[in-house]
Structure 1
Amino acid sequence: MPSRSEYALMSSKDRNTVLFICFSGAIAFFDFLIYLYLADIIAASFFPAITDPATIKIQGLVLFAIGYLARPLGGVIFGRYGDIKGRKPMLLISILVTAGSVLAMACLPTYAQLGLIAPALFIILRLIQGMAFGLYVPLAWVFVAEHVPRQYLSVGCSYVTASFFTGVLFSNAFFLWLSNSMTVDQLADYGWRIPFFVAAILSVLPLLGWRWIDESPFFAQMKNSKPKEYVAKPFTLLFKHCKHSIFIGMVLALIVSSITTVVVLLLPDLIELRFTLDSDLFGFSHSLGIVFMIFGCVFYGIISNHQNFGKILTIGSILLIAQMFAFFYHLQASGDYILIMYALLGFCAGIVGMIPAILVQLFPTNVRLTGMAFCYNIAYGIVGVLVPFGLGYATLYVSFSPALYIAFIGFIGIIMGVYFYNLPEFKKIDEVI
């Protein structure tokens, strides 16, 4: 914004906004991942009894993938309204829709009580939740980026990204407690509803501080400077003037979604397909890896800015490739130092923390949310549906398949880093087309 210096200090209001978004982001990830932890139990509650374990597993994966398929639809549709009506109204809608959908899931009758209507209702609610989540993630980055001074842009977005993984960490701890507190029969009977009730309550807690949250200054200024007869057409403007930004955004979103999906969500199951490790130790190692990924996100956010994005992205991608192969070579050799190797892998994967700040600067203010939501959710929809099945199948035959895939993604990161390193400068973040 012209009225605000690029080198201004972050105000207390800015810090409150970042904290609000981070707290909401952690809860949003907990809400979305509930099904991942209870897939088999929920599938058994809402679908006809199946005895084949493989079919049950596939059914669970398909139902989890439904949430990913809904994300592009919600992100694109509501992202457009975020560029027309404002960031704050869309933020409220995403929070309320998420809370309402998980509360409705908690109260749903089972297949035994309602027959085929039960799974139909569950799928509809899962789609609605996925649509709201598809809006929330890019909106969180945009909201923070448009509030903080530009010198805090990268670190602000990295805090938001780190909060998402804090939500994953909380999910691990919560479901560990839940599984240790209840028997399998209790979980199948009523225990599976508890996380949904908890998620609904947590989702509305941030609204207690809603009155201290302001509309994005960039959006407010853009709205005030437009003539009254102006008609906003984010999609038309986006695809007319930002084709290059869309391509770059899709590639960057592919990097973020691939690293997050493989390292945070899939790696434990993929490793179990080919390696034998102590389950308790491995579970703790995975959580430790997420802790260090949170640190890595903040670290990369702090050391990167709009002048050295390319250099940091290139170096970080090289380190991630090296550590991913070192991690799998260590598993093949002994696995004795799994704690250290997982922590290092998580820290290197924290490179995803700096990428949202690049995404934000690709798009002008009046199409920013539409552009980010389109790129992020299309990439996540593709990765979230195809990669779990593809890598699961490939790992059965080649144990290093996850490492090879991350190496491929890291190579793309290197190319993007070189590209940004040779760019003279990003556009001004308050640009409007």
Structure 2
Amino acid sequence: MSSFSQYELMSSKDKNIVLFICFSSAVVFFNFLIYLYIVDIIAAAFFPAHSNPVVTRLQGLGLFAIGYLARPLGGIVFGRYGDIKGRKPILLISMLVTASSLLAMACLPTYAQWGILAPLLFVVLRFIQGMAFGLYVPLSWVFVAEHLPRQYLSLGCSFVTASFFVGVLFSNLFFLWLNSAMTPEQLILYGWRLPFFVAAILSFLPLLAWRFIDETPFFIEMKASRPHNYVLKPFTLLFKYCRHSVFVALMLTLVISSITTVVILLLPDLIELRFVLDQDLFGFSHSLGIIFMIFGCIFYGILSNHQNFGKVLLIGSVLLVGQIFAFYYHLQAGGEYILIMYALLGFFAGVIGMVPAILVQLFPTNVRLTGLAFSYNITYGIVGGLVPFGLGYATIFVSFSPALYIAFIGFIGMIMGLYFYSLPELKKIDTVV
């Protein structure tokens, strides 16, 4: 019997699970983005002084890229472990590894103190944290999906996705305060340690509620029902029975990763390459866009609870493509209503909030975390490594390059929407191969 059919309404324990994962997810995103906000400060603290600022910038970006390179490895290795041993123990491992690595980074000596050993240690810790992050994001969706009644599946996953952007918004506010409270010299000398300490403390906080968190009902049911001679090889089973699901998951993750990377992380810098806007107004507009993206994620999650997945994804993708072109044409016209346009762009970009509920249903229970972690992190590693440099270069020559790229991603979203619209029903979430 499906675990979802045991409940008619979401229990208070289910709600606490969602709150626990949402808080942890917001913290995890803040942790991972620290380097992006103080990349120059980190580079100055951990690399020898260089007269060329471009070299210093590239050194810092290299540290950020290491986290993306580590994600596929962490997702594949630990995702497999989560399908064999359980969701709860691997969730604990990912949270402990993240918190411990952040605390260790906060205490690291600088290049001036330990020489070349300092950046080497930082790279190792950054790699370890990237592995844990690569596991956590798909695990958070799986953990919530396997706890909630099916009628709340899309809503629960959309809340988790929205919480990622709460972490981004908190990052914006925190580093705005940090840069105003300290001089560049103070930040290089000791101030860079503060965000790592704050992140470590916030990462340890969810563990206070750990004893109230249970293993997912789906994993318990699967473990109890499988025969004694069951082969514990989720990666082998994944590519033997679920190759089609892997391809679909790769395409859907391309939509999530591209929209998140471009609209949330890259767009402000890309716009500044070709347009001149009031910095304070533009900074506020970006934060407003993130707020509306949070609302958009939840809106699309609620909508897809009551409508066909494919229909919602198709319409949402069309609206996003229309808005990204409207946004750029408005910038070209002077950007007088940038607040409204950024808010609308963020809201329509929230269509990605419904996608994780599709992803978790693509894979059977015994290979779900392996399949999702593999697909998510392989795609995110490629997008995170190539898109920033590719779009940055293209925008120098064609100001509409980000809009064209998002339109391409929106077209993929439309194709996926049509595909799911034609399906009679997604496979049952409690199946096993």
Given the two structures, how large is their TM-score scaled by the length of structure 2? 0.99
CA distance in 2, matches of 1:105, 1:2: 44
**Deviation digits for residues 67-87 of structure 1 (CA, Å, limit 9, x no counterpart):** 001000001100000000000
Match of 1:367 in 2: 367
Q: Name 2:404's counterpart in structure 1.
A: 404
**Residue identity in the other structure for 2:218:** F
Cα distance in 1 between the residues matched to 2:59 and 2:276: 26
CA–CA separation in structure 2 for the residues paired with 1:60 and 1:326? 34
2:232 partner SS = coil
Structure 1 outlier segments of 4+, above 3 Å? none
Matched, 1:60 2:68: no
Provide the rounded CA distance (Å) in 2 between the counterparts of 1:263 and 1:55. 26
One-letter amino acid of the counterpart of residue 197, structure 2: F
> d(CA) in 2 for partners of 1:307 and 1:226?
34
Matched residue, 1:256: 256
Task: Indicate if the aligned counterparts of 2:43 and 2:57 stay in contact, CA closer than 8 A.
Answer: no
Amino acid at match of 1:330: H
> Which amino acid counterpart does residue 360 of structure 2 have in structure 1?
V
Shift of 1:278: 1.0
Partner secondary structure for residue 305 of structure 2: coil
More deviation, 301-310/130-139: 301-310
1:342 aligns to 2:339 (yes or no): no
1:182 aligns to what? Answer: 182
Q: Deviations over 1:307-350 (max 9, x none)?
A: 60000000000000000011111111011111100000000000
Q: CA deviation at 1:61?
A: 1.9
2:164 is matched with which residue? 164
1:151/1:305 contact within 8 Å kept: yes
Counting only pairs closer than 5 Å after superposition, residues 173-322 of structure 1 correspond to structure 2 as 173-305=173-305, 308-322=308-322
1:305: how far off? 3.2
Q: How many residues align?
A: 433
Larger CA deviation: 166-175 vs 55-64: 55-64
CA distance in 2, matches of 1:306, 1:96: 37
Alpha carbons 2:101, 2:129 under 8 Å: kept: yes
CA distance in 1, matches of 2:306, 2:432: 19
Q: For 2:413, what is the secondary structure of its paired residue? A: helix
CA distance in structure 2 between the aligned counterparts of 1:4 and 1:186, rounded to whole angstroms: 54
How big is the shift at 1:6?
A: 7.5
Where in structure 2 are there 5+ consecutive unaligned residues? none
Contact 1:161–1:353, Cα closer than 8 Å, also in 2: yes
Distance 1:159 1:287, change over 3 A: same
Does the 8 Å contact 2:4/2:148 carry over to 1? no
Find the residue that maps to 2:122 and give its secondary structure: helix
2:214 alignment partner, SS class: coil
Within 1, Cα distance between the matches of 2:375 and 2:305? 22
Q: 3-state DSSP class of the match of 2:301?
A: helix
Q: Counterpart of 1:304 in 2: which secondary structure? A: helix
d(CA) in 2 for partners of 1:8 and 1:62?
A: 49
Moved more, 207-216 or 3-12: 3-12
Q: Is the 8 A contact 2:3 2:217 kept in 1?
A: no
C-alpha deviation, 1:54, in angstroms: 2.0
| Contact residue 3 and residue 430 of structure 2 kept, 8 A | no
2:108/2:118 contact within 8 Å kept: yes
The equivalent residue for 1:393 is 393
Instruction: For residue 306 of structure 1, report the CA deviation from its aligned partner.
Output: 8.0
1:358 aligns with 2:395: no
Q: Is contact 1:296-1:347 (8 Å) kept?
A: yes
Write the letter of the residue equivalent to 1:357: A
Report the CA distance between 1:395 and its aligned residue. 0.4
Q: Once structures 1 and 2 are overlaid, which stretch shifts more, 57-66 or 172-181?
A: 57-66
Deviates more, 1:298-307 or 1:272-281: 298-307
Distance, in Å, in 1 between the alignment partners of 2:17 and 2:374 is 24
- Taking the aligned partners of 2:288 and 2:281, their CA distance within structure 1 comes to 10
3-state SS of 2:5 partner? coil
Alignment TM-score, normalising by the size of structure 1 = 0.99
Separation in structure 2 between the aligned mates of residue 407 and residue 59 of structure 1, nearest angstrom: 32
Gaps of 5+ in 1: none
Contact in 1 for aligned 2:4/2:150 (Cα 8 Å): no
Shift of the alpha carbon at 1:62?
Answer: 1.9
User: Which secondary structure state, in structure 1, belongs to the residue aligned with residue 425 of structure 2?
Assistant: coil
